[in-house]
């Protein structure tokens, strides 16, 4: 009888430990992760992430990390119903990631999918806010295929 109780307690303790580990693993990362450059594909357009200055990532509430080759792809993914708990953009000119709330966007060309947007610090002169960049992508719609260049107004080339 004592042995049965002990085995039951051990089994219950093991089950609780497994649940705690699973719950911990499902939490979104606390900060940006590095993609497998040139091997990881964009969650929206499926192109490989190869140009660091234009990469972006979304962390979902269930802990999934999605990578994007262009800020416009992240915005298009959101527009299609994607829900992110946190977003990060690679800085256009520096080797660092910016949290979505700390990001602004400037015109850049060419970009991987032709959106013409590059992330910078939000207080950089001439930077537009994230919501304005998102609005421009929504207004433009998703390109059917990769495009070269972008206009000086931050809009993708036609």
Rounded CA separation 67/112 (Å): 13
Mean pLDDT along residues 77-99: 97
Mean pLDDT along residues 52-68: 97
pTM, to two decimals? 0.74
Task: Dump strand ranges (E) for the chain.
Answer: 56-59, 65-68, 86-90, 97-99, 103-107, 117-121, 128-129
Q: What is the pLDDT of residue 25?
A: 58
């Amino acid at each position: 009888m004592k042995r049965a109780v002990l085995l039951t307690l051990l089994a219950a303790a093991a089950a609780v430990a497994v649940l705690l580990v699973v719950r911990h693993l499902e939490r979104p990362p606390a900060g940006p992760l590095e993609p497998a450059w040139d091997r990881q594909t964009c969650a929206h357009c499926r192109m490989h992430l190869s140009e660091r200055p234009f990469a972006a990532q979304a962390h979902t509430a269930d802990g999934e990390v999605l990578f994007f080759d262009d800020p416009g792809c992240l915005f298009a993914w959101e527009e299609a119903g994607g829900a992110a708990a946190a977003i990060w953009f690679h800085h256009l000119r520096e080797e660092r990631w910016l949290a979505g709330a700390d990001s602004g966007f400037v015109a850049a060309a060419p970009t991987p999918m032709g959106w013409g947007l590059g992330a910078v610090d939000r207080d950089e002169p001439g930077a537009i806010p994230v919501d304005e960049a998102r609005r421009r992508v929504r207004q433009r719609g998703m390109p059917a295929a990769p495009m070269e260049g972008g206009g000086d107004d931050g809009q993708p080339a036609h």
